[in-house]
A and B are shown apart, each in its own frame.
Chain A
Amino acid sequence: MMAHLTRDPITLDEWHGAAVDRWDGASVEFLGIVRGEESGRPISHLDYEAYEPMAERVMERLVQQARAQWPLHAVCVRHRVGQVAVGEVAVLIGVRAPHRDEAFEACRFLIKAIKRDVPIWKAAVSQDGRRLQPTCADGHETH
């Protein structure tokens, strides 16, 4: 299982169906879900765009880094692109490892690194279809 972008809804079937290794003792998954508001304003969906060839390459490299650091077996990373409605899963990260500490740590490493390094951008769209001004990492609106 590798790291992929997808235009389709993310389901857990593939991840949950991955064969369990006999050494697996912990399975941790993180789901990033689209919240119904952005900076206090209600939204209808997020619009994600990616520089796709680089985004997948960077995600796969981060999975390799996680594998080098922790004894992981199955690893699954999926990130949506395009319109993702409130309540839908925008990102899925799943890891299995012999013990819970390494599984939690690897999962946390992956979501933090993905948010920092993968060329994916989101724009919030309000319920009346307006694109809300993107905000910088520090929360201030750009002009």
Chain B
Amino acid sequence: MDAARTATGIAVNVLLFAQLRDGFGGDQLVASLPSGATGAELLAWLSQRNPKLAGLLEVSRLAVNCEYVSVGHRLEDGDEVVVIPPVSGG
């Protein structure tokens, strides 16, 4: 799914894994955010859509282009953002 550019904001593709995918019922969605939105705003947007997952989102990390970014990272229109709930490899 391509993130469409809008006049008033940005759209980012969000990839979801593990419990977050199960909780949202899908592995991908498009978030519409104001221009200049940060990772924290994306997390808040996701929490609003699914308040039951707010606690899990609070302890999740974000990655853009396969690199972890801080919640203060400014998102760009069309970014692919991965929301990473606490990992459990090993």
Q: Which residues of A contact B (CB under 8 A)?
A: 32, 48-51, 53-55, 57, 79, 90-91, 111, 114-123, 134, 136-137, 142-143
Contact = CB atoms under 8 A, between A and B. Distances in A.
B44 interface: no
A32 B19 contact: no
Contacts of B82: 51, 54, 119
A121 B56 contact: no
A118 B87 contact: yes
Interface residues of B, number: 20
Contact of A115 (B66, B68, B89): B89
A120 B87 contact: yes
Given A49-B17, A51-B15, A121-B17, A57 B88 contact: no
B57 to A, nearest CB: 12
A90 B87 CA distance: 15
B87 A142 contact: no
A123 B55 CA distance: 19
B24 to A, nearest CB: 14
Contacts of B9: none
Given A79-B89, A122-B89, A134-B18, 19 more contacts: A49-B17, A50-B89, A51-B84, A54-B63, A90-B90, A91-B90, A114-B90, A115-B88, A115-B90, A118-B87, A119-B84, A121-B17, A121-B19, A134-B19, A136-B59, A137-B86, A142-B55, A142-B56, A143-B52
